[in-house]
């Protein structure tokens, strides 16, 4: 069946990529489901047809996040050991493998990094996370908010400061990274938690995606200056003091 452009609101098309998580299924072929604001074009009219009459025929009545817990890869550099989770709860948006985890409004999840097989001594640690808001361009970005916890302790609460994912309904190319420090003295397992606290006009259908999470264990430290270096720095001053005393004698 073909949907005429005149049947669609002005400058509006339907997203053929329905929300990825479903907790229950109900029939819903309404024109309002999956609607996002985009410049109307032939491809978006086709997406509208697909969404209304195929993809969205079994639409979710409620939404719950999609999460994964892949085993971290370990990379060792002269300055740090990096444990990285490439998340793959839903396969559409991530950079490397299209996979990412999804948090709908109100959802929360904690990712746990277990003790690695070989753990070097480290002086500090922090989490680095790759995030982006959904591709629901009709929702203002200041509606997206979240809370972050590190090892169960509050690390951040406020505006998400994320762009909408681009490109629409496909692999996003504009992910943003943020860093959250691990408090000194923390031990394994270490955890990073996120809660989507987006506010109106964001609804339960709006979400934030997480592409990957890295735990950086910083092994480098500022080296103490060597005795030779201290002497080389002090020698000119000592020479000057001796000469001054000789002149005054």
Mean pLDDT, the chain, whole residue set: 77
Residue 42's pLDDT is what? 55
Distance CA 32, CA 41 (A): 18
Quick one: average pLDDT of 185-211?
96
Q: Please compute Rg for the chain using Cα positions.
A: 26
User: 73-218 adopts what CATH topology?
Assistant: Jelly Rolls (2.60.120)
The CA distances from residue 104 to 67, 85, 195, 199, 207, in Å, are 11, 20, 9, 12, 4
Judge whether residue 30 has pLDDT over 50. no
Quick one: average pLDDT of 92-96?
93
Quick one: average pLDDT of 106-134?
94
Is 151 in contact with 52 (CB distance < 8 Å)?
Answer: no
Which residue carries 């030779």 as its tokens? 228
Instruction: Indicate the domain borders of the chain.
Output: 5-60, 73-218
By percentage, how much of the chain surpasses pLDDT 70? 67
Quick one: average pLDDT of 51-76?
68
Peptide bond before residue 222 is cis, with ω within 30 degrees of 0: no
Quick one: average pLDDT of 97-114?
96
Q: Give the range among 9-23, 34-48, 88-102, 233-247 with minimum mean pLDDT.
A: 9-23
Per-residue pLDDT of 136-173, as tens digits, reads 999 999 999 999 999 999 999 999 999 999 989 899 99
What values do phi and psi take at 203, rounded to 5? Answer: -125, -175
Q: Is the pTM of this model over 0.85?
A: no
Residue 51's pLDDT is what? 42
Distance CA 218, CA 211 (A): 22
Quick one: average pLDDT of 228-233?
60
Q: What is the largest CA-CA distance in the chain?
A: 108
pLDDT band with cut points at 50, 70 and 90 for residue 230: low
Quick one: average pLDDT of 19-26?
38
């Amino acid at each position: 069946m073909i949907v005429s452009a005149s049947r669609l609101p002005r400058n509006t098309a339907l997203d053929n990529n329905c929300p990825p998580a479903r907790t229950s299924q109900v029939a819903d072929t309404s024109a309002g489901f999956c609607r996002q604001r985009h410049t109307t074009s032939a491809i978006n009219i086709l997406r509208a047809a697909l969404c209304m009459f195929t993809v969205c025929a079994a639409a979710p009545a409620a939404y719950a996040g999609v999460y994964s817990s892949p085993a971290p890869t370990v990379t060792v550099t002269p300055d740090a050991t990096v444990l990285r989770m490439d998340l793959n709860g839903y396969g559409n948006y991530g950079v490397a493998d299209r996979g990412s985890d999804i948090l709908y409004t109100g959802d929360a999840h904690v990712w746990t990094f277990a003790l690695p097989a070989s753990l070097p001594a480290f002086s500090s640690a922090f989490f680095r996370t790759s995030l982006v808001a959904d591709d629901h361009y009709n929702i203002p970005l200041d509606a997206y908010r979240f809370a972050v916890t590190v090892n169960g302790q509050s690390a951040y609460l406020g505006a998400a400061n994320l762009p909408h994912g681009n490109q629409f309904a496909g692999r996003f190319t504009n992910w943003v990274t943020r860093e959250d420090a691990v408090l000194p003295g923390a031990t394994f397992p270490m955890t990073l938690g996120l809660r989507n606290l987006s506010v109106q006009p964001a609804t339960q259908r709006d979400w934030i995606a997480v592409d990957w999470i890295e735990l950086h264990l910083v092994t480098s430290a500022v080296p103490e200056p060597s005795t030779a270096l201290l002497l080389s720095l002090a020698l000119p001053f000592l020479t000057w003091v001796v000469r001054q005393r000789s002149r005054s004698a």
